[in-house]
Chains A and B, each alone.
Chain A
Amino acid sequence: MLRHRDVRWGSALIYEPGQGASSAPLPAAGPARISRRTSLEPRLPSLFTPHSIAFAWAGNRDAIPLRSPATDRLVGAEPEWIAGRRSAVAAYVRGARPAVRVVFARAPGGRREVACRIGADGAPGIAERTVSLRFGPDGLSAPVTFRLAHRLGRRIGIARPEWRWHATLGGERHEIGTSQHEICLTWRRPLSPAAWAEPDAFTTDGTWTYLPVMQWSCQWAAGCRNAKEICDAMLAALPRSGLRYAAPAWTVRDMLLKGGGYCGGWYRMFQAMAGAQGIRLERRAFLVNWEVLPKARARWCALVVSDPGLNRSRPAEAASRFHDADERPISRSPVQSVTRHRYRFWGQPGKVGDGHCVNFLRFRGRWYLYDPSFQSAPVPLTRFALPRSNPARPAAVGRLGTFRRDYLDRAVDFMLGSLPGDGRLYETVHPDPGQPDPLGQRILNGLSVETSIVPHAGATISFYWV
């Protein structure tokens, strides 16, 4: 099983956590830089120059609204390109032929009214059209709508056109300026953020996407041709985001601001990335079913995971004493007591507590499990049906096809219980809150049973699926 820790990438973020994302991009790790400084370099003195170019203005349905996680404002709330000041990202579905709105600035000494033909060379450029510009007291024209001369590329990726603007006036062609842009091209129209934003506080803004999520997904899935290729590429490239597991965040925005999150955030983040490409991913949490058994026994109290998670070298949980059993029958297994940093996903007796969160993709009739928190490759499942959400009744993993064999046994190292092993009872004990100093007491782990040796017969491992 390929895990994130087996893959080494650069760790720079496209945007540092907590930094503005719409106008001050940092270099991304990877083969190409995301943004370049835009220059305005008129070759000859001109009557006017491009002042600003808007892509995702309000009401423009072609453009995909992008949102800055730092401010929660739309990137297109002001023109994406402003001469010498701003060069922000725009996004469209691949193959689109969008329109842009351009404001021109009168050059010193230039005329207040000009009728001419304006266009821009580039790949693709801007289709030339006849315009009448009237400059106001502020020296700016009203916005003029131009359409691209050709469609944008038909592949997922990031286009970086350079537009060399020209105006033809009295039969004479003037070079009036250059603008450089970064345009994300998605596979399909993004899905509603309602699935992962919880709730979408910006329903009037349409199917918006957080800017870094759009950039990452377009960059990593460049050239991919179907939903699975896209999800596979994004999963493998997640370490390049610089985000890591176990930062204290459980929502997409918090993760972008804090530089990572727990699995409750990661399955939303991965869903948001797929959603940015128009791919519907399911997400599920399998939550610990802590069954209290006779004679102070319990099965199971927690999931135990040794993998440090994405972009971490050690689990972000203080070391504790574990008592590992790795032989059948469990009750007679030798027990090895070790002090280790491991994650414990705690349940609560008789209630629905913590657990792990993953994504699922149905592709060509088959389910694939994606675990963005810990793994860099999808897990194909057979004879698997996505469990319905049911917090009232746990489902035995034996009824979920190869979920246990191909995923659970490998991803979850141990199931922690209060069980006998090696001739004695290993009991999970949380501190006694009745004591005057409950925080002075340690939490005692019971028996950590290697997941793969837990008997398959009967409902020996079951989870609440939500």
Chain B
Amino acid sequence: MGAAHEHLRRLLAGGLIEGRRPQWAHALALLKAVSEVRSPESEAVLRDAALFDGKLLLDEEAGLPHAMAPEDMLRSLAAQALAGWDSRKHRDAIRYASAPGRSALVRGILDRWR
């Protein structure tokens, strides 16, 4: 498993990375790196991200996403990556990320794969 996978898992577990709270841009970089190459490890981590139901511990002073909560954005980006690889295989995770009760914006983004 690559460092990005490990760091993303740690972020999802609510842990610090190298003793610090990650910034939102770091979370984006991790997602981007994990999404770049399809592999069983990447699919597993992205499924965990799409199915994430906790709260991310981020360095809020560095800036947060504006249109939706970081957790919604994380689920949305992970689900988009999974949908790009195999939307049928990962439909459960995509549906979870865009379930009623979640952000309408995320539902709007993921609607075509539900």
Where the two chains meet, the residues of A that have a C-beta atom closer than 8 Å to any C-beta of B are: 198-199, 246, 248, 250, 262-264, 285, 287, 316-318, 343-346, 348-357, 389, 391-392, 430-440, 443, 464, 466
Q: Check A263 against B66 for contact (C-beta < 8 Å).
A: yes
In this complex, the interface size class of chain B, counting residues with CB under 8 Å from chain A, is 35 or more
Whether A345 and B112, one on each chain, are in contact in the complex, defined by CB atoms closer than 8 angstroms, is: no
Known pairs A345-B67, A352-B109, A353-B28. 16 more at Cβ < 8 A?
A250-B68, A250-B103, A264-B68, A287-B67, A316-B61, A345-B66, A352-B76, A352-B80, A391-B108, A391-B110, A391-B111, A391-B112, A432-B29, A435-B3, A436-B3, A466-B105
CB proximity of B113 to chain A, nearest CB, Å: 10
CB–CB A354/B7 < 8 A: no
If the complex has contacts A250-B72, A262-B65, A316-B61, are A443 and B25 also in contact, measured as CB distance less than 8 A? yes
Residue B90 interfacial (CB < 8 Å): no
Given contacts A199-B100, A346-B24, A391-B109, contact A438 B64 (CB under 8 A): no
Q: Please report the C-alpha to C-alpha distance between residue A445 and residue B22 in the assembled complex, in whole angstroms.
A: 18
Complex Cα distance, B18 from A310, in Å, reads 35
Residues of B bordering A, CB below 8 Å = 2-4, 7-8, 17-18, 20, 22-26, 28-35, 60-69, 72-73, 76-77, 80-81, 84, 100-101, 103-105, 108-112
In whole angstroms, what is the CA distance A250 to B73 when docked?
12
Q: Which residues of B contact A343 (CB under 8 A)?
A: 63, 66
Query: Is A439 in contact with B62, judged by CB distance below 8 angstroms?
Result: no
- If the complex has contacts A389-B108, A438-B3, A466-B109, are A430 and B66 also in contact, measured as CB distance less than 8 A? no
Q: Give B93 Cβ to nearest chain A Cβ, in Å.
A: 15
Let me know if B2 and A434 touch, CB within 8 A.
yes
Q: From residue B73, how far is it (CB to closest CB) to chain A in Å?
A: 7
Check B17 against A438 for contact (C-beta < 8 Å): yes
- Asked if A349 and B32 sit within 8 Å, CB to CB, the answer is yes
Among the listed B7, B23, B80, which residue makes an inter-chain contact with A351, where contact means beta carbons less than 8 Å apart?
Answer: B80
Check A433 against B29 for contact (C-beta < 8 Å): yes
**Chain A nearest CB: distance from B40 CB in Å?**
18
Q: List 29 A-B contacts (CB under 8 A).
A: A262-B67, A264-B103, A285-B105, A287-B67, A287-B109, A317-B61, A318-B62, A346-B28, A348-B32, A351-B35, A352-B80, A353-B28, A354-B73, A355-B67, A356-B66, A389-B108, A391-B109, A391-B112, A431-B25, A432-B33, A433-B3, A433-B34, A434-B3, A438-B3, A438-B26, A438-B29, A439-B18, A440-B18, A466-B109
In the complex the two chains form, what is the Cα distance from A287 to B72 in whole Å?
14
Nearest Cβ in chain A — how far from B55, in angstroms? Answer: 10
Instruction: Report how far A346 CA is from B24 CA in the complex, Å.
Output: 9
A433, B7: Cα distance in complex, Å: 8
Contact of A248 among B4, B64, B67, B73 (CB under 8 A): B64
